[in-house]
């Protein structure tokens, strides 16, 4: 399985409460999903689909100085699905739960 997505994402800072700032994230886009799967009986199928993609999440950033922050965020994303499945034995939905920690630099 492979997926290529193009998204337009945005962050919204809920309220600047001092050293820790909570925020929401969201995005919309398009996903190109490719599957090349063989089931246990040896039946092979490949498929390509183009789907609507979206993501929602939340996080918090902690300021280290005026421009640099450390952040942690959780994001749920739905990238659509491949067009069909193998006799109900294959879940065609492409979804992810992601937790990331990183640095943010503000210009």
pLDDT at 13: 84
**Along the 107 residues of the chain, how does pLDDT read in single tens digits?**
777 888 999 988 887 777 888 999 999 999 998 877 777 777 777 778 888 999 999 999 998 988 899 999 999 999 888 766 555 556 677 889 999 999 988 88
d(CA 78, CA 8): 14
Q: Which residues pair with 25 in a beta bridge?
A: 11, 57
Instruction: Look at residue 100 in the predicted model and tell me its pLDDT.
Output: 96
């Amino acid at each position: 399985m492979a997926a290529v997505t193009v998204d337009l994402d945005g962050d919204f800072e809920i309220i600047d409460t001092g050293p820790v700032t909570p925020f929401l994230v969201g995005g919309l886009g398009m996903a190109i999903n490719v599957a090349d799967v063989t089931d246990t009986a040896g039946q092979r199928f490949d498929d390509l689909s183009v789907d609507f993609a979206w993501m929602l999440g939340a996080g918090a950033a902690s300021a280290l100085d005026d421009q640099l922050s450390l952040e942690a965020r959780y994001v749920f994303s739905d990238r659509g699905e491949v067009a069909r499945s193998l006799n109900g034995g294959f879940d065609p939905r492409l979804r992810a739960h992601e937790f990331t920690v990183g640095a943010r630099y503000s210009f």
